[in-house]
Structure 1
């Protein structure tokens, strides 16, 4: 084999090895009961959160427990959790607790969503997308092949009264509909006020709200903006 061609093959192999090594960060598989360095359980940082981790149950738009959710134990990067604790302190003074629906999401869970969309034999739970088809969820950007949740600094949450009762936000979590847009005109003044309270506290703590889901917030200065993790929620 000519030396020049051999050299090119070595370079290509080296580049492939680098890609595989980089991808490895997205396939972290810690021992049972452990999570990777840089992540923490929300319950270890905030003393009084309420959890309703839908993807660890059958009560979600797919209608079954989602891949990678072995336990209802939400976690975030340390930076996102520290910022969330500030929001929780702020809201606690106003008489609210945080009710968390989802936080870090393994890439395998996102893959499960896409597989469900492409499976005509899996109808899902229509109450979560009453005015859309499954394919609309992909086309409309509600579901994508990758999710910011997999980077570890995105959280889905709402306000809860001190007794744990969810505040009225005008639409339930994961209702894929325009009424779930933060600025929807189809909600009451009280519902708009509740959304504003949540948004103000989260933005003050350093989060940015998604413009199509009132419950979705991303840490503005997330520590892993280009890394999509895949270790289980356990």
Structure 2
């Protein structure tokens, strides 16, 4: 017995729900991100490269032992709030971070945008004085309306307030850190976080990033999301860097 179109569509959404464009503000140039069809070809075997995965459940995994490891940003009050690990490699620093959430009722919004964000930005800029920086992890902010499924309804929600988005731009992207996924996919609607029971309908947020210093961004071969990995309410993100 043949299935109806709606049945075929539902099956597709259930097996690969991230291919469903559920964004409330669909612009003509936007389309759903599909990592199975929208990633560049693998690098040739004679090209030196590094693959980095960031996942807010298991943290960062790499196959290279770093030159040095630093925990926190050097300010005890902040180091109790966020989780930051900095790995130093020959050509760059890799910062894996969880940025503090503004909390229910935005009770910690002021701390987030007026204290933590500034100090974290200063920490990154000091590292950049010696070599480029890559920032990976859950930054707890959906940068733009394309990065959240229902932006009009979420402007007072932690992670999408005007204050958080302005702080993200002022302290990170305007200071030379490039959103590598958005650079590669300027019109792709893609998420890395879904609330309870929201993954099946692809009603999510893009909260996890790889940001890279402008001086190293041309070495980024691929910046991608793995939405089919569903052990957490977040999905892993990946970066392929040419060395």
TM-score for both structures, normalised by structure 2: 0.26
Which of 1 and 2 has greater Rg?
Answer: 1
Q: More strand per residue: 1 or 2?
A: 2
TM-score normalized by the length of structure 1: 0.27
